Amino acid sequence: MFFLNKLLKGIEEDSAIFKNPKINFILGLTSSQIKELKKFAVANEFITQNKQYYFITDKGREYLKENPIKSWCCDEFPLRPELNLEYMKLDKTPSTVTKAIRNLAKHLLDGENIKENSPETHIQEELLSQNSKFNNLSNKMEDYLSTNKRVNLGGLYNDFSSYGLTKSVISVLLLGILAKNKDNFAIYEKYQFQLKINQLLFDKIMFSPENFEVQKTVFEQYQVLEDISTLLLPQRTSNILEITKGLVHFISGLDKYTLQTQNLSKTALKLRNTVLNAKDPINLFTIDIPRLIQNKKLENCDSNFAESFKAVLNELKNANDNMVNELKSFMLNSFNAKTRSELSERFKKAEEYIGAKELKILYSNVVNDGVSDKFWIERIAAYINKSRVPKDWSDEDTADFKVKIKEMALKFEVIEAAVGAENINISANLSSILDSFLKLTKSEQFVLLRKMVNE
């Protein structure tokens, strides 16, 4: 009967073995296997029982002598380490082993706890512990993956099967390496970069390793990577995955306006769009970004690269504030005012003559002296466009604001001219033009204002 010799050997060495909670690990067998073997051994007088203790009989010793436990390290595979867990030696991985490896992946990659004395804890202890007999092979596998080139995992499984390792053993060794280096390895599924290594991803790797590639992402030879990292992360690093995460976090944290506006330099637009559409962190930092900033690969970039990169990041970071400042300047220019306080005083003087509802609401916002310049213009802008705040605007919203504020400025100047405000010097010719403008239809006024704004 399969593995009876292992049961008998265990009883010979420890008569209280059935009381040991680690019996499955010691014998390398499942609970159901041990139960059946125990029943068979008692029935066939290979062992005897005395209370809770079991002892091997002479018949049992004779069986052990005739059926010694065979070493997993054999002439065909002399470099294959000894393995006690019998279910890991099977060429076709049992579903129970697959489940155990999946639970181990949840523990190592996702941080979930695993049950004591469970198959996954036994697998971890046997294959991934500090004293594991598989450490040399694990180191060879890690070196195999650390060439700074993409390595197909299907090829890795094929190559390491030459040591006589089963697919389940190779999977566990690979799992240990990925868990230890999950911030250093980029994984690609059918050439598509996968930002996060978790149990679900590893599950797919086990079943179809040929669909996956791995590449090391730490490039110590590129000092410029560390210079870039200080712009995006709290600590210096040459790890492209960490730098990529920092850049993605930076870009995704930008205001909606910055993410969709075209009112940026060509370099800033290309950087933003490149990051948003990036599928490969290696090429992103070794080819794509260096080319758009210095028209070179990373290895050929000079010491000015980091400063140029910083300038582009600052342009993106400040894009919304610059747009808001532009709105303020455009509004003051439209009303021929040099300062916010000057415009406020003019509105106060004309208050009793303001009849139009839209100008009355604009008046209440303009004369609000108790807020910052930024909040002041944002309140006005949100009112003028009657929708979102400027940080959520599109370029079309900005253009609409300019058209509408020009129209309001013209109406307000007519009011000022009519009441004879002291600080308004308006010619008879301009007054005539304003009267004519206000007689136009709304669509005609809109076309004219569009032309004035664009010119």
Q: To which residue do tokens 């001219």 refer?
A: 417
Of 216, 237, 259, which one is at a domain's C-terminal end? 216
Phi, psi of 192 (to 5 degrees): -100, 125
Give the confidence band of 32 by pLDDT, cuts at 50, 70, 90. Answer: very high
Of 158, 182, 216, which one is at a domain's C-terminal end? 216
**Are residue 113 and residue 60 in the same domain, yes or no?**
no
**Are residue 90 and residue 210 in the same domain, yes or no?**
yes
**DSSP secondary structure code for residue 149 in this structure:** S
Give the confidence band of 370 by pLDDT, cuts at 50, 70, 90. Answer: confident
**Are residue 373 and residue 445 in the same domain, yes or no?**
yes
> Domain for residue 39, yes or no?
yes
223-246: pLDDT as tens digits: 888 888 999 999 988 888 888 888
The answer to whether residue 422 scores a pLDDT higher than 50 is: no
Look at residues 229, 241, 216, 224 and name the one whose alpha carbon lies nearest to residue 297: 224
Is residue 390 within 8 Å of 381, Cβ to Cβ? Answer: yes
Give the confidence band of 178 by pLDDT, cuts at 50, 70, 90. Answer: very high
| Three-class DSSP category at 341 | helix
**Which position has the higher pLDDT, 184 or 161?**
161
> Domain for residue 74, yes or no?
no
The answer to whether residue 430 scores a pLDDT higher than 80 is: no
Domain total of the chain: 4
**Are residue 166 and residue 253 in the same domain, yes or no?**
no
Is residue 230 within 8 Å of 204, Cβ to Cβ? Answer: no
> Domain for residue 344, yes or no?
yes
Is residue 48 within 8 Å of 54, Cβ to Cβ? Answer: yes
**Are residue 92 and residue 153 in the same domain, yes or no?**
yes
Is residue 126 within 8 Å of 162, Cβ to Cβ? Answer: no
The answer to whether residue 429 scores a pLDDT higher than 70 is: no
How many angstroms separate the most distant Cα atoms in the chain?
Answer: 127
> Domain for residue 32, yes or no?
yes
The answer to whether residue 280 scores a pLDDT higher than 60 is: yes
> Domain for residue 429, yes or no?
yes
Q: Which domain holds residue 47?
A: 4-66
Angle of helix 199-207 relative to helix 95-110, nearest 10 degrees, comes to 140
